A and B are shown apart, each in its own frame.
Chain A
Amino acid sequence: MTQPRTMLEISGLEKSFGDIEVLKSIDLKVQEGELVFVIGPSGSGKSTMLRCCNRLEEPTSGAIFIEGERITDIPRRDLDRMRLKVGMVFQGFHLYPHMSVLKNVMLAQIKALKRAKPEAEARALEMLDQVGLKHKADAMPAELSGGQQQRVAIARALALDPGVMLFDEPTSALDPELVGSVLKVMKDLRDKGMTMLVVSHEMQFAREAADRVIFMDGGYVVEQGTPEEIFGNPKSDRLKTFLSRVSHEDAGAEAD
């Protein structure tokens, strides 16, 4: 039996903004093909941790490894090559509004990955097909719904053949009826064996699709385990408080 490969490893990660210590010591491993879910209260540093993984934020100390390569040591001018291995999906989609959907998915393939244009186009169409939006290739981003825009953003990241995908609250900006389409794409990705680190409040999705759930609070990983362990049998008081508050919010939202 071969050991599963560690695709992403975070070790002793710390991050401060000025005097504020946001991440105090984070250790985390994501194996190949795993979907790891990150939950935690607002301000606990989830986005900051994710953004350290492709160095959109510079870690204050600690090490991060992507496919075994220590990316925290890479000089700034060589970051672009590393970022190709890490796909990132943002809460706000951030499609380029002046380009068609197809061009959005082709741009970095051509300019960063140096693919030839026909190859980039073929790859873009394939990825758009995978997220169910091939027929929107010529549309402009503003003509799409939020859910469609987010799926294009996922296709844009996937087209670069990343080893790991990072999702920062990919469905938080969406109307409730559009959330499902994005989650479905993520589930398909998981079934295809993509390694994913997902920050999200979609607890139901975590139960169905996550291999592991990480609970962060106050700059630490407080608890981690399978979805059953985390949701069914929380150990720390902080997690219990968090889960009861979230389930109240959910109940409140459903009552609206």
Chain B
Amino acid sequence: MRFIETFFNTKVMADYMPDLIHAMGVTLGLAVATIITGILCGAALACLRVAGLKLVNFCIIVFADIMRALPPLVLILILFFGMPSLGLNISGWMVVYIVLSLVLTAFSEEIFWGGLTAIPAGQWEAGRATGLSKAQTLFYIAFPQAARRGIPPLVNRVLATTKLTALGSVIGVKEILSVSSSAQSFSGSATPLTMAAIAYLIIFIPAVIASHKIERRYHFAT
């Protein structure tokens, strides 16, 4: 009974449910925006790298290495506390969105690029020999195969990055974790945290199931 009282207090649940549902929306919105931006930008950078421009490629590599090496929280704090002193006021939501998008861009660029380098030269030659331009060969032949190869690591990275939306709690973004931990301190009950865990599961379990589907759908024998 004590256990239920602590973690599943119905009164507390009812009190904080509306706030939490709103917070789920924030987390979900942040996650979706991050995924779309990160994957699109990562794909664009990987394709840009195919052009073989030395300086551009050097910059991409440096960017990807830095973004993958730094803890995202450090970037979030730098941006959140540093930007206002430069006269740029950006919201906490925006800071988390930008940082997580950059991180996902870096990782997905590396995943797509790894996939592109694994495409046999014969695929390029077959495309070029049939009169397709380099860009067309990239777009219709090389990239789709690279993307399929990249799906398993990409899915893992997407899940890992979107879970980092919880870092928003550090700078007051009203996402699931921050809403429920402040509810916890107001109510003195651990129940809001239980609710947070359930909320995360409600969002991420379907995401994990969807990811299995995507992996199966795009699996093809080479």
Contacts and interface: CB of A to CB of B under 8 A. Distances in A.
A84 B127 CA distance: 11
A136 interface: no
A4 B123 CA distance: 35
Chain B at the A interface: SS class = helix
Contact of A108 (B120, B122, B132): B132
A97 B221 contact: yes
B58 interface: no
Given A142-B220, A142-B221, A92 B132 contact: no
B220 A56 contact: no
Interface in B117-132: 120, 122-123, 125-132
Interface in B131-189: 131-133, 136, 140-141, 144-145, 148
A83 interface: yes
A218 to B, nearest CB: 25
Nearest to B144: A98
Nearest to B147: A98
Contacts of B85: none
A142 B222 contact: yes
Contacts of B129: 54, 56, 83, 86-88, 157
Interface residues of B, number: 21
A107 B128 contact: no
Contacts of B144: 98
A94 B221 CA distance: 14
B140 A107 contact: yes
Nearest to B145: A98
B220 A97 contact: yes
B152 to A, nearest CB: 16
Contacts of A98: 144-145, 148, 220
B122 A83 contact: no
* Size bracket of the A interface: 20 to 34
A84 B131 contact: yes
Contacts of A96: 123, 126, 141, 145
Interface string A79-90: 011011011101
A90 B126 contact: yes
A111 interface: yes
Nearest to A111: B136
A97 B132 contact: no
B118 to A, nearest CB: 12
A160 B140 CA distance: 17
Interface of B: 120, 122-123, 125-133, 136, 140-141, 144-145, 148, 220-222
Given A96-B145, A97-B220, A157-B129, 19 more contacts: A54-B129, A56-B129, A83-B130, A90-B122, A90-B125, A90-B126, A92-B120, A96-B141, A107-B141, A108-B127, A108-B130, A111-B132, A111-B136, A112-B131, A112-B133, A113-B131, A156-B126, A156-B130, A160-B131
